[in-house]
């Protein structure tokens, strides 16, 4: 996709994110890469969060 992070860049930054699950449990987190791509889409397009494309989760 146009605003999504490429595989080579994702490999470099993926270890900077916290683990997806906390030791005490709780709701499972969304995929970190999808969330980063959503943030990049908003930052690069200048659109509000409510206008995220449908392929990103709510």
Q: List the structure tokens of 36.
A: 């980063």
* Model pLDDT, residue 37: 92
19-58 confidence digits (pLDDT tens): 766 677 777 777 889 989 999 999 999 999 899 988 887 7
Q: How far apart are CA 20 and CA 34, in angstroms?
A: 12
**pLDDT of the residue at 22:** 67
38, exposed or middle or buried, with CB in 10 Å at 0-12, 13-18, 19+? buried
pTM here is 0.74
């Amino acid at each position: 996709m146009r605003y999504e992070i490429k595989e080579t860049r994702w490999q470099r930054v993926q270890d900077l994110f916290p683990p997806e699950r906390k030791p005490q449990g709780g709701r499972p987190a969304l995929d970190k890469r999808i969330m980063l791509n959503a943030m990049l889409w908003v930052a690069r397009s200048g659109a509000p969060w409510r206008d995220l494309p449908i392929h990103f989760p709510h």
